[in-house]
Structure 1
Amino acid sequence: MTDKIKLTGDERRAQLLDWLKSSSPLTGNELAQRASVSRQVIVQDMTLLKARNEPILATSQGYVYMESDSRQGPALLERVIAVQHTPEQSEEELLLIVDHGVGVKDVIVEHPVYGQISAQIRVHTRKEVYEFISNIRSSKATFISELTQGVHLHTLTSPSEERLDEVCEALREIGFLVTD
């Protein structure tokens, strides 16, 4: 049996940041295994790091370190759209969007008691959509849009206005886009 050196909390959090900066997204379970701690310790560490203004997002694919420098390429345009569909149509919606070269940043619903509820999705490819849908199904979780009879918002990201226009038209054609 090999003895691992136990890191202090600050040392472990510094190591977590290094891992996220070099290869994110990483799940809580992956980070817990690497750090030889429980997943709950990782959740607490992430909360502390976020409280220190570290740009960490919890997504359906795992934790992501969001660098804000120019190495990420050109800035993406964003557009918030309103859509409505059944939970069974979620995969169809997301695939249609990414097939137009557009990313889905988040999902937002307006809850009558809690107000605005949002969750990071961050899908840009078919593979990421399939992983997201698989995570929902395997965890037996529900889509937050089920709280509002399928009505929800998405923040879309794209390098061009034309792609955003095209995807909105495609969503309108299949009846998902909510219009006035």
Structure 2
Amino acid sequence: MIADERREKILSILKDRSVPLTGTDLSKLTGVSRQVIVQDIAILRARGLNIIATPQGYLLMKDLKNRMRKIIACCHDKMGMRKELEIIVDNGGKVIDVIVEHSLYGEIKAMLMLESRLDIDNFMRHYENSDTKPLSMLTGGVHLHTIEVPDETSYYHIVSDLEKHGYLINNR
């Protein structure tokens, strides 16, 4: 398979999925190494495709249908991380990313794409089994999340629950 055909196959695979797919899985499906997949994804991104890398794998971002995006500002210690994420997904939200403002590098953003308790369990397991720290620990716990919600009511419930637990910095 030549490179352009392989990239079209990768794009086709990602278009048909609503959940991320790992580089390893894409390499198996296309018969090339994971490193070749990383390069192919970079080329597809350079062509203007909105392919993001999440902890669960690659995802082609599609148009939002009947969903809203909001940004919330939160602050908590690392013990509050799981509860904060659960509040968001339990109220119908999807955690798109986490953003911190670093004094040297400016804005640092990491894609999360968490929309279920299973996603949170996997994310937390990965965190607990690594020697890394959450981005929010660089800023004393202060961070932003872009969240996707189906409607204003879900957003209101998320904000209310985060306020109740003392995690929310800003108001609507």
Q: Same fold (TM over 0.5)?
A: yes
Structure 2: unaligned runs, 5 residues or longer: none
Report how far residue 67 of structure 1 moved: 2.5
Aligned length: 170
Structure 2 residue matching 1:79: 3-state secondary structure:
strand
Partner of 1:163: 154
Provide the residue aligned with 2:15 in structure 1: 21
Counterparts of 2:133 and 2:32, CA distance in 1: 29
Partner of 2:56: 61
| In structure 2, distance between residues paired with 1:103 and 1:55 | 18
Note the C-alpha offset of 1:161: 1.1
Equivalent residues in 2 for 1:37-116 (5 A)? 37-68=32-63, 73-74=65-66, 76-116=67-107
Q: Percent identity?
A: 40
Change (3 A) 1:56 1:113: same
CA deviation after TM superposition for structure 1 residue 55, in Å:
2.0
CA RMSD of aligned residues (A): 1.7
TM-score, normalised by the number of residues in structure 1: 0.86
Structure 1, unaligned runs of 5 or more = 1-6
* Equivalent in the alignment of 1:31: 26
Which letter does structure 2 place at the counterpart of 1:12? R
Which one has a bigger Cα radius of gyration? Answer: 1
1:58 & 1:79 partners in 2: Cα distance?
A: 20
TM-score for the superposition, normalised by structure 2: 0.90
Cα distance in 1 for partners of 2:165, 2:62 equals 36
Residue number in structure 2 paired with 1:119: 110
1:32-64 deviation digits (Å, cap 9, x = unpaired): 222222222111111110000112111121101
